[in-house]
């Protein structure tokens, strides 16, 4: 191997190693895994069709995935997880019950997080991947 090829290989290897260290540092989030285990192990949340997940934890703020936002009507989500309410009006008793069920599960996820040491607040992050997998696009 000539000198240029050797130096070029060493340089590329170094860049790759640095990128790997940065990726590993960002992926290593034991507190997120610990908080996520709390949500996963809760039997009430486990029975709900949508799985709330902890996406990040920083400065006492747990960020949890959610299938709803102001951009996407909650009815779209509810029709996916509960086909019985598909096509029903927003004020239909079944739709209201489905909305309340979602609210109750979100409140439970939030309460579980706030009960954990070090968690001061909860923010929600729209789960665009889940929505896209189910045909909902922004």
The pLDDT tens digits for 71-105 are 778 888 898 888 888 888 888 899 999 999 999 99
Q: How far apart are CA 82 and CA 60, in angstroms?
A: 34
- For the chain, what is the radius of gyration of the CA atoms? 21
Report the DSSP pairing between strands 54-58 and 121-126.
unpaired
pLDDT value at 21 more than 90 = no
pLDDT value at 5 more than 80 = yes
Q: How far apart are CA 58 and CA 129, in angstroms?
A: 22
Please report where in the chains the tokens 């170094």 appear, as a residue.
14
| C-alpha 3, offset from chain centre | 49
pLDDT value at 28 more than 70 = no
Q: How far apart are CA 136 and CA 80, in angstroms?
A: 10
pLDDT for the residue numbered 138: 66
Read off the pLDDT of each residue in 18-27 and give the average, rounded to a whole number: 65
pLDDT for the residue numbered 36: 92
Residue 99: strand pairing partners:
none
Lowest-confidence pick of 3-12, 29-38, 45-54: 3-12
Confidence of residue 44 (pLDDT cuts 50, 70, 90): very high
Q: How far apart are CA 17 and CA 29, in angstroms?
A: 20
Q: How far apart are CA 45 and CA 105, in angstroms?
A: 6
Q: What is the pLDDT of residues 53-71, one digit of tens each?
A: 999 999 999 999 998 878 7
Cβ neighbours of 107 (radius 10 Å): 10
For the question of whether the overall pTM of this predicted structure is more than 0.95, the answer is: no
pLDDT for the residue numbered 88: 87
């Amino acid at each position: 191997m000539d000198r240029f090829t050797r130096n070029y290989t060493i340089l590329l290897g170094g860049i790759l190693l640095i990128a790997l260290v940065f990726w590993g540092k960002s992926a290593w989030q034991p507190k997120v895994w610990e908080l996520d285990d709390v949500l996963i192990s809760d039997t009430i949340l486990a029975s709900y069709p949508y799985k709330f997940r902890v996406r990040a934890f920083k400065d006492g703020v747990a960020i949890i995935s959610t299938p709803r936002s102001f951009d996407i009507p909650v009815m779209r989500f509810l029709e996916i997880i509960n086909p019985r309410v598909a096509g029903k009006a927003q004020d239909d008793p079944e739709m209201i019950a489905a909305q309340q069920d979602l609210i109750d599960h979100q409140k439970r996820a939030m309460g579980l997080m706030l009960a954990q040491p070090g968690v001061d607040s909860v923010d929600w992050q729209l789960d665009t991947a889940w929505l896209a997998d189910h045909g909902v696009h922004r």
